[in-house]
Amino acid sequence: MITESLTISRRAFEEGTGWLLKPEGACKGDVCIPLSDQPMVASSDSDSNNDLVDLVGIAEQMGLPLVADDKNGVWALGPDSVGSRTLVTAEAPELTLPDLDGNLFSLSSLRGQKVLMVAWSPY
Amino acid sequence: MWQKFRNELHGDGLEIVTVGLETAGAEACRPFIEAAAPEHPSLIDQAHRSAELFGFINIPNAVWIDESGVIVRPAETAPSPPSIERERRSPFAGIEPPEHLLAIAGEAVNIQSSPAEYEAAIRDWVAKGSDSRFALSADEVIARSQPRNADAARGQAHFELAAHLEKLGHHDDAVPHYREAHRLTPDNFSYRRQAWSLEPAGEGLDGPVTRFWQGPIPGSEDTWPYDSDWLADVRAKGAENYYEPFTP
């Protein structure tokens, strides 16, 4: 996920990485990575989704790469390598992308059907 | 390309979603999507997020997801069903290809995949569901998903940065991140094809065919910003090894 700040909301972290922050750690499916240090830096209001996450700290604890482009002031928080495989669970991750006209479509809206998702390119 | 197949099996519970991995954005995909006129969702993925999430490393790749949202086959080569239209189509139609494109075409004819076998497997899954021998257990899906060590994860972060900077119009700033992505994910061919396809093509070419050049322009090799290119990579790997064979 791309970020211009090293402190982001819990909601942005969870949506961007697919890892949910729970009392037992950062979890995806049945897999949890224990967090020894509290990654929250502050609670900005009563909605826990707006809690703030220290990206440097949580990236280090979870083994997520945090790559900077200093010139443009942006970072990319990369994916986990916890299981040495792309998937740590067979549950399909949520994916929301635009169509040609910019209308957003979420993969999860196709529950109840078999889905063949094909990646292609014009090159 | 998948539209006819989708319409045939849609009534049996199959939906197809196509995802264009294209940092250059929707307009670069538009001519292809409009020509295909899909009735299924056809999405644009500038950041290659689907590739990071599901493990696509070349194109075309696909995953199978069942009715409850569980992946039953991880990312793998996904040739579209055999068709006369595809056999007759050429990206070089209507032009006199320069030698470089003829060399690419010469290698491309030796690329092997199994479209009939793959189509039969999809049909079996649609008919039999979880009883299909092609529908894998959760453990098998995870075990067969693409390897990702710490280097590969870092390479994916570099690619995401490159795609973001490209989207902002900072191509020169994106190149070092593409290079790092290539170095750290040596098995990822779509990262390479994407970056190579954004560089200039030889003179006299216009339109979508320019995206297939993917290499230095003769006489200007010093300006090529990457350590390899499509022809060099395919020749080193062997065109017959371009795609992994289908494993039932």
Domain residue spans of chain B: 3-96+112-144, 150-241
pLDDT value of residue B85: 53
pLDDT value of residue A43: 62
Q: Could you give the CA distance from residue B90 to residue B73 in angstroms, rounded to a whole number?
A: 30
Angle at which helices B189-197 and B171-184 pack, to 10 degrees?
160
| Chain A closest-CA separation from residue B209 CA (Å) | 8
Residue of B nearest to A111 (CA): B67
Name beta bridge partners: A26: A21, A33
What confidence category does residue A38 fall into, taking pLDDT thresholds of 50, 70 and 90? confident
Contacts of B44 (CB under 8 A, 6+ apart): A97, A98, A99, A100, B19, B20, B22, B25, B26, B29
Helix (H, G, I), strand (E, B) or coil at B53: helix
Percent of chain A with pLDDT strictly greater than 90: 85
CA B163 to chain centre: 16
8 Å CB contact of B41 and A77: no
Q: Give me the DSSP letters along A17-78.
A: HS-EEETTEEEETTEEE--SS--EEE--SS-GGG-EEEHHHHHHHHT--EEEETTTTEEEE-
| Alpha helix stretches (DSSP H) within B145-219 | 150-167, 171-184, 189-197
8 Å CB contact of B190 and A112: no
Among B51-60, B78-87, B221-230, B236-245, whose mean pLDDT is lowest?
Answer: B78-87
Superfamily of domain B3-96+112-144: Glutaredoxin (3.40.30.10)
Tokens of B167: 């989207």
8 Å CB contact of A87 and B71: yes
Tokens of A13: 């972290």
Mean pLDDT of A72-101: 97
Cα atoms in the 13 Å half-sphere on the side-chain side of B242: 24
Tokens of B169: 């119009």
Q: How many beta-carbon pairs under 8 angstroms link A with B? A: 236
8 Å CB contact of A120 and B60: yes
8 Å CB contact of B142 and A78: no
Please report residues of A whose CB lies closer than 8 A to that of B187. none
pLDDT value of residue B94: 72
Dihedral angle, C-alpha A31, A33, A39, A43, nearest 10 °: 30
Q: Could you give the CA distance from residue A33 to residue A19 in angstroms, rounded to a whole number?
A: 9
Q: Could you give the CA distance from residue B49 to residue B46 in angstroms, rounded to a whole number?
A: 8
8 Å CB contact of B160 and A117: no
Question: Where in B22-131 does DSSP place strands (E)?
Answer: 42-45, 61-65, 71-77
Mean pLDDT of A47-54: 81
Q: Could you give the CA distance from residue B27 to residue B20 in angstroms, rounded to a whole number?
A: 11
pLDDT at B36 over 60: yes
pLDDT value of residue A121: 96
Q: Taking the alpha carbons of B85, B230, B225, B44 in that order, is the dihedral positive or negative?
A: positive
8 Å CB contact of A67 and B161: yes
Question: Where in B26-178 does DSSP place strands (E)?
Answer: 42-45, 61-65, 71-77
Please report residues of B whose CB lies closer than 8 A to that of A102. 26
What confidence category does residue A37 fall into, taking pLDDT thresholds of 50, 70 and 90? confident
What confidence category does residue A41 fall into, taking pLDDT thresholds of 50, 70 and 90? low
- Residue pLDDT, tens place only, B145-196: 999 999 999 999 999 999 999 999 999 999 999 999 999 999 999 999 999 9
| Chain B closest-CA separation from residue A33 CA (Å) | 16
pLDDT at B84 over 60: no
Please report residues of A whose CB lies closer than 8 A to that of B157. 65-67, 76-79
Q: Could you give the CA distance from residue B141 to residue B137 in angstroms, rounded to a whole number?
A: 6
8 Å CB contact of B28 and A86: no
Residue of B nearest to A123 (CA): B211
Percent of chain B with pLDDT strictly greater than 70: 96
- Residue pLDDT, tens place only, B108-133: 999 999 999 999 999 999 999 999 99
pTM to 2 decimals?
A: 0.94
Nearest residue, CB atoms, B160 vs list A76, A85, A99: A76
